[in-house]
Amino acid sequence: MYDNMRTVILGRNSYGRGKHKLNPLFEDFSKHCGFSIKVCKPYRAKTKGKVERFNHYLRYNFHNGLRVRLAMKHYALTLDNTNAEVLKWLDNTANKRIHQTTLQIPFELLAQEQLQLLPVPKAYQGIHPKALIESVAKKYFPINSHKDWEKLYIPNRDIQCY
């Protein structure tokens, strides 16, 4: 379930009620990975809250406590020490607690779900570079000649670098 961001959805109800215009790059990625895209309803806090609730838990249960512990030892909060500590916190706190919604322990649910998970697909290479360049060129650069599009440089990056 995704928020209504431009990287996911370009237009709500563009093709009729509940038929949204999705970002073609993200739609291609979702087909490659085998998942469907569902978007939150605008101005409906109930669905939005479910998407972002973990951010609140992470901030108030992990981040603030780590920041205080490091400050007491006169250490700065850096990406390296945060990454090292978050794995410990996930293993010892977040995934061992009884979840308030499911009333089950996340590690136990993961063990049940792993039996049904699909294998990880091969690395996503993206839409063919020429199709990507043409679609971006048509949208942002109203050029009449197809040969002018070849002057436009768009690097072809693996989506995992983001």
- Walk along the chain (162 residues) in steps of 10 and give the mean pLDDT of each run: 84 82 88 88 72 83 91 91 92 90 90 88 72 60 56 56 47
Distances in Å between the Cα of 132 and the Cα atoms of 74, 147, 157 are 49, 15, 12
**Rg of the chain on CA atoms, in Å:** 21
pLDDT of residue 90: 92
pLDDT of residue 86: 92
pLDDT of residue 138: 62
**Whether pTM exceeds 0.85:** no
pLDDT of residue 155: 57
pLDDT of residue 53: 80
